[in-house]
Amino acid sequence: MLNSSDVYTISPELPAMFDGMKLAAVATVLYVIVRCLNLKSPTAPPDITYQDTALNRFLLKSCPQLTKEYIPPLLWGKSGHLQTALYGKLGRVSSPHPSGVRKYLPMQDGATATFDLFEPVGDHRTGDDITMVICPGIGNHSEKHYIRTFVDYAQKDGYRCAVLNHLGALPNIELTSPRMFTYGCTWEFASMVGYIKRTYLQTQLIVVGFSLGGNIVCKFLGENITNQERVLCSVSVCQGYSALRAQETFLQWDQFRRFYNFLMADNMKKIILSHRYHLFGGSSVETIDADLGRLFTATSLMQIDDNIMRKFHGHSSLKEYYEKESCVHYIHNIKVPLLLVNSADDPLVHNSLLAIPRTLAAKMSNVIFSLTLHGGHLGFFEGAVLFPQPLTWMDKVIVGYANAICQWEKQKPPCQSAHLSESSCTAKKA
């Protein structure tokens, strides 16, 4: 049995030991937080790849967001996962509600494309009639928070905005044919652009695409040179450029990409199942059961693309579908000024894919590639410590770049055009 002196000599050591364990636990938690939130990562201006031309020098000078330091919210903004999650789940803080008119466009195959048209609030700074034709991300439409915020901002700067609603994405609009949007089908976007050109004979176009929408607009412009008529410039944000190259990276757990793949596949399942009657109604019972069975068991976008999506356009294989629908095979045909924006911490776009826009910008004088350290997938939030601003760096860059292009068109030298390189201009003078 311990006497009183033994108790007093042992007990002081126990609190010291527990304090040490608490300190170690706190240190471990802080280390995990710092690593997960990437708090030690520096802030920096975007990494810009471009050719040194008069137009590009003017654009970089006139659009300061491309050369100034991008500073995300201090506490969580350096985490690409949190930037992506905040965009994907919470949308924009205090999102505005711009008022637009929905348009319905019958397609040759019986489908009905829809888009929302938003008139400008006030005149454009150049006095010209300019329309932004906008293609949202996968399964998105004009009612998404990030689209509403961007449209409201662009309207106030004097731009008319036309926003495509991806075929099948709006829950209250039924399909009128056994087909919905795919990774690179440009038919609905082309129909919207055609309507704008026919209705507003004097308008010029700014083409904008977000994520999957970036692939669609770049493919649309590169498919046929006539698609670039009356187009002043184009902006693509956070696209992956090549679905074929991306499919392997989407099955990896690096940056939890496989988990994001599962979430997006689950969302695609819901969209497809909400239109099951129109998509599968004309098939035999056996075909319907087989297609739905494969859909229910799919855990990745690739499985859904292989079993459902590629069949809408008669592709014989998943490889053919990704080859034909990726803009990487068309983007080099774009002659108008093109701004490509990506984030280095985008958990959906593997870093290996960024060699495509970097190489393109190094070879083509009309292309600028901007790569930020932070921003996630379509996040690019700005703010002080915790709460982000409703307007993002991405919103400001797109409108700033568009304004710079419009200003260049107004004050460019007589020989120069946004469509001509300096060498072309020199040759023309000679």
Q: Which residue has the tokens 């901002």?
A: 153
Alpha-carbon distances of 159 from 96, 119, 125, 134, 235, rounded to whole Å: 16, 7, 10, 12, 15
For residues 84 and 97, what is the distance between their CA atoms, to the nearest angstrom? 22
Alpha-carbon distances of 222 from 82, 131, 210, 218, 331, rounded to whole Å: 34, 20, 17, 6, 5
**Angle (CA) 256 263 32, round 5°:** 30
Q: Is residue 377 annotated as part of the catalytic site, yes or no?
A: yes
3-state secondary structure 154-214: HHHCCCEEEEEECCCCCCCCCCCCCCCCCCCCCHHHHHHHHHHHHHCCCCEEEEEEECHHH
Q: Is residue 123 annotated as part of the catalytic site, yes or no?
A: no
User: Which helix (H) or strand (E) is 286 found in, with range?
Assistant: helix 285-297
- Please answer whether residues 318 and 251 qualify as being in contact, where contact means their C-beta atoms are separated by less than 8 angstroms: no
Residue 138's SS3 state is coil
Q: 130-135 and 112-118: which strand pairing?
A: unpaired
Point out the catalytic residue in the list 166, 275, 374, 377: 377
Would you tell me how many other CB atoms lie within 10 Å of the CB of residue 427? 10
Point out the catalytic residue in the list 79, 211, 326, 421: 211
Point out the catalytic residue in the list 343, 346, 350, 395: 346
Residues involved in catalysis: 211, 346, 377
